A and B are shown apart, each in its own frame.
Chain A
Amino acid sequence: MSKKIMVSFKLNGKETDVVVEPRELLIHTLREKCLQTGPHIGCETSHCGACTVDFDGMSVKSCTMLTVQAEGADVLTVEGLAQGGELHALQEGFMQEHGLQCGFCTPGMLMRAYRLLQENPEPSEEDIRYWMAGNLCRCTGYQNIVKAVQYAARKLRGEAVETSHPLMTADTH
């Protein structure tokens, strides 16, 4: 058994200390020690992206990082996305545009889109599909995820947002 190491990092804005074996994967620390169970595990070959978190300004698959590599890092999970109880534009977009069904890929999708929109606030549909290619979804067929990201991009740019599936508007009553 290898020696345990204390690792300190910032998680959703809070200083966090954990003691881990070097072999512990970041996804397991986040889920099992930090109890942030939004990030999920969908594979063991680094394909699915369900474990994606924001890590020092990068989207990373936390199943393919060791927790010991997070020393001093700034980590954001889906739990840190809403501010003061108000949903982030992406969370609202995924809800309004029906960008999720079972919800298993959603935390990873949101965290990847969060970084994408900071790097490219005005992505084309092709941009969204290309730069979200590290995240698999079994339910949606991706169409509504693209719309959800477009919805959030418009909102974050300060433009008027309109859902492509209006639920109920005043004049339909």
Chain B
Amino acid sequence: MIPRPFEYHAPKTLPEAIALLNEYGEGAKLLAGGHSLLPMMKLRFAEPAHLIDLGKLTELKGIREAGGEIRIGAMTTENELIWSELLQTKCPLIVEGARQISDPQVRYRGTLGGDLSHGDPGNDHPALMIALDASFVLTGEQGERVVPADSFFVGTYTTLLEPGEIMTEIRIPTPAAGTGYCYAKLKRKTGDFATAAAAVTLRIGAAGVSDVRIALTNVAETAIRAIDAEQYLRGKPLDEPAIAETARLAMAACAPVADLRGDAEYKRAMAGEMTRRALTTAYARAAH
């Protein structure tokens, strides 16, 4: 319950935050919503000497559309995602996903950028962002670089973020009207991390599925994209045998870790089942 002592910094601008991050180096941690970091500090899994609170950086908040993309500030909270009319209309997958994350109190504080930067395979946004073909803006002393969600997650709690960098914005190509979507999440109870979950976006053309992206939560050391499953399904009608084979290929991509949520075999089977459900719902929601 009691974190180790640390020094607290509340920069008012992004350059100030980056300067502090460089000054204190390895001993510093960025504080966003604080709903992953503080729990780890309370259990002494994390013992940073300096916390750099991004809470005053209003420039990292907000949801807007620009240049065919939806751009979301990294400090935008889950609750703000859920109530965004722009997202409800143009990118409802994020809303459906965010509604399944944790609980109301946590969603008032936890941020999109924090959920992604944490690199926990149990978090939901990594798979959602892969399914949406998002990219992330990482800002450091040298300026910005933009990396795709698809390659951002390197390992458990490990991402492409370099020391001295802050994720500042999430960019999502505005989904074409009629894009089908679903986030199917199996969990033991409200607020729990997924036993397995599947995020799907797809479009239907004359010959069947013209485009599809499938990403899986908590069934490997990072969120994963089920590339073989996508490749198999592209250009095919979404009938029962095609769904079954796609789910089988998604299962083959999994490498789950056994824990209290189940053994590897169960989690792999549930990843297949969540893929089947997400595909079925996304298909029903897509324009035909």
Contact = CB atoms under 8 A, between A and B. Distances in A.
Interface of A: 1-3, 5, 21-23, 25, 41, 44-47, 49, 52, 58-61, 63-66, 68-69, 71, 112, 116, 130-134
A132 B103 CA distance: 8
A94 B51 CA distance: 40
B104 A1 contact: no
A134 B191 contact: yes
A18 to B, nearest CB: 14
A54 to B, nearest CB: 10
A117 B188 CA distance: 28
Please list the 5 inter-chain residue pairs (A to B) with the smallest Cβ-Cβ separation, ordered nearest first: A134-B103, A22-B8, A58-B108, A133-B190, A134-B105
A23 B5 contact: yes
B43 interface: yes
30 contacts: A1-B5, A2-B5, A2-B6, A22-B51, A23-B6, A23-B41, A25-B38, A45-B39, A46-B35, A46-B106, A52-B105, A58-B79, A58-B105, A61-B105, A63-B1, A63-B42, A64-B39, A64-B109, A65-B34, A66-B34, A66-B38, A68-B8, A69-B53, A69-B55, A112-B104, A112-B105, A132-B104, A134-B102, A134-B103, A134-B191
Nearest to A20: B8
B3 interface: yes
Interface in B1-57: 1-8, 10, 31, 34-35, 38-39, 41-43, 51, 53, 55
Instruction: Give the size category of B's interface with A.
Output: 20 to 34
Contacts, number: 87
B2 to A, nearest CB: 7
A59 B108 CA distance: 7
B8 A61 contact: no
Interface in B46-92: 51, 53, 55, 79
B31 to A, nearest CB: 8
Select the residue from B4, B10, B106 with max chain A CB neighbours within 10 A: B106
A135 to B, nearest CB: 8
Given A59-B108, A61-B105, A65-B38, 20 more contacts: A1-B5, A2-B8, A21-B5, A25-B42, A58-B108, A60-B105, A60-B108, A60-B109, A63-B1, A64-B106, A64-B109, A66-B38, A66-B51, A69-B34, A112-B104, A130-B190, A131-B104, A133-B191, A134-B102, A134-B106
A113 to B, nearest CB: 11
A169 B166 CA distance: 63
Contacts of B104: 59, 112, 116, 131-134
A5 to B, nearest CB: 7
Contacts of A130: 190
Given A22-B51, A47-B191, A134-B103, A66 B8 contact: yes
B5 A44 contact: no
A71 B55 CA distance: 11
Select the residue from A21, A47, A63 with max chain B CB neighbours within 10 A: A47
Contacts of A41: 1
Contact of A23 (B3, B34, B39): B3
A46 B34 CA distance: 11
A65 B5 CA distance: 15
Nearest to B107: A134
Contacts of B191: 47, 133-134
A113 B109 CA distance: 17
A69 B103 CA distance: 21
A40 to B, nearest CB: 13
Contacts of A46: 35, 38-39, 106
A23 B105 contact: no
A125 to B, nearest CB: 15
A56 B43 CA distance: 27
Contacts of B41: 23
Given A44-B1, A60-B108, A60-B109, A22 B34 contact: no
A131 B104 CA distance: 6
A66 B5 CA distance: 12
A2 to B, nearest CB: 4
Select the residue from B31, B41, B103 with max chain A CB neighbours within 10 A: B103
